[in-house]
Amino acid sequence: MNFEPRNILVIDFGQLGDVVLSLPALGAIRHKFPRARVTVAVGRAAGAIVELAGVADEVLAVDRVGLRDGPKILSIFRIGQFAREVRRRKFDFVIDLHSLSETNLLGYLSGAAQRLYARRPGRSLDYLSNFRPSAPVEDRARHAIDRYLDVLAPLDVREVSRVPRLPVREEDNRAVLEMLKKTRDGSDAPLVGMFPGAGHPSRCWPLERFSELAQSLARNDGRCTSRRRQAHPSSS
């Protein structure tokens, strides 16, 4: 394929877990175009993930929820501001891995000559993508990692590792080991981590459920599980 972009914008506005699963695709873009400058636009919570992965020259971390929610006039104003910033950077190629109507529009407003978008029925604006051949229509039966890699099929990307990898810095290793040393206090019991509050508020598990689960795990008596089975007797 005789296509050599020099300034690439990758739009990756999925949730935190989605961005982790997109890392193989981001790495494939970095490997495919080693001479290009690659900028990845992500939600603020996922910015550090992309930076750690080393798949971008620059990360544009934005309040992806703030761009969509709240008063419409304010959202339009924020989107306009971000679109002006993107256009100022003069990208020549835009890849939208997650594809929402507003991110497709952002790619179009960037002024990039070539735009390759994920094709998601009911979510994307396929007519704003002009790269040929276009990406295949999203197959929801495939794993999310493969769906992100499918977007890159027109770029002839092959033999890509499907395993998301995050290099760990030595100082991070030391900090975690010190934290575990204090937490475990010589015990060899299993250690369980919880992350309450992650994701969009509409998708968050209630804090009282986290509390109930933590107490059940500490007791190790299975009462939390039994209660859930009573509430849903058909589950197994």
Please give the C-alpha separations between residue 48 and each of 52, 55, 60, 132, in angstroms, as whole numbers.
Answer: 6, 12, 10, 32
Q: pLDDT > 70: what percent of the chain?
A: 87
Q: Please report the sign of the dihedral spanned by the C-alpha atoms of residue 28, residue 31, residue 35, residue 39.
A: positive
Q: Which domains does the chain have, with CATH numbers?
A: 7-155 (3.40.50.2000), 183-231 (no CATH)
Rounded CA-CA distance 176/220 in Å is: 25
Residue 124 to residue 135: CA distance in whole angstroms: 12
Q: In whole angstroms, what separates CA 6 from the centre of its chain?
A: 23
pLDDT at residue 69, rounded to an integer: 65
Does the structure show a pLDDT above 70 at 179? yes
The angle that helices 72-88 and 101-109 make with each other, rounded to 10 degrees, is 40
**Cα-Cα-Cα-Cα dihedral sign, residues 90, 28, 131, 45:** negative
**Residue 60, pLDDT above cutoff 90:** yes
What gap in Å lies between CA 13 and CA 65, rounded to an integer?
10
Query: How many residues does the structure list for the chain?
Result: 236
What is the average pLDDT across 164-184?
84
Q: How confident is the model at residue 235 (pLDDT cuts 50, 70, 90)?
A: very low
Residue range 8-17, pLDDT digits in tens: 999 999 888 8
Q: Which pLDDT value is given to residue 230?
A: 42
Mean pLDDT across the chain, nearest whole number? 86
Give the separation between CA 43 and CA 97, rounded to whole angstroms. Answer: 13
pLDDT band at 42 (very low <50, low <70, confident <90, very high): very high
- CB distance 134 to 154 below 8 Å: yes
pLDDT at 223: 61
**Reported pTM:** 0.78
Distance CA 175, CA 116 (A): 41
Which residue would you say has higher pLDDT here, 81 or 29? Answer: 29
Determine how many CB atoms are found less than 10 A away from the CB of residue 68: 14
Question: Does residue 135 surpass a pLDDT of 90?
Answer: yes
In the predicted model, what is the mean pLDDT of residues 110-138?
Answer: 95
Give the integer Cα–Cα distance in Å for 175 and 173: 5
Beta-bridged to residue 95, according to DSSP, are 10, 116
Which tops the pLDDT comparison, 129 or 168?
Answer: 129
What would the pLDDT profile of 61-120 be if each residue is shown by its tens digit? Answer: 988 766 666 676 777 777 788 889 999 999 999 999 999 888 899 999 999 999 999 999
Where is average pLDDT lowest: 19-33, 141-155, 213-227? Answer: 213-227
- DSSP string covering 78-137: HHHHHHHHHHHT--SEEEESS--HHHHHHHHHTT-SEEEE-B-TTT--GGG---SSPPPB
The whole-number pLDDT of residue 91 equals 97
- The confidence score (pLDDT) of residue 221 equals 64
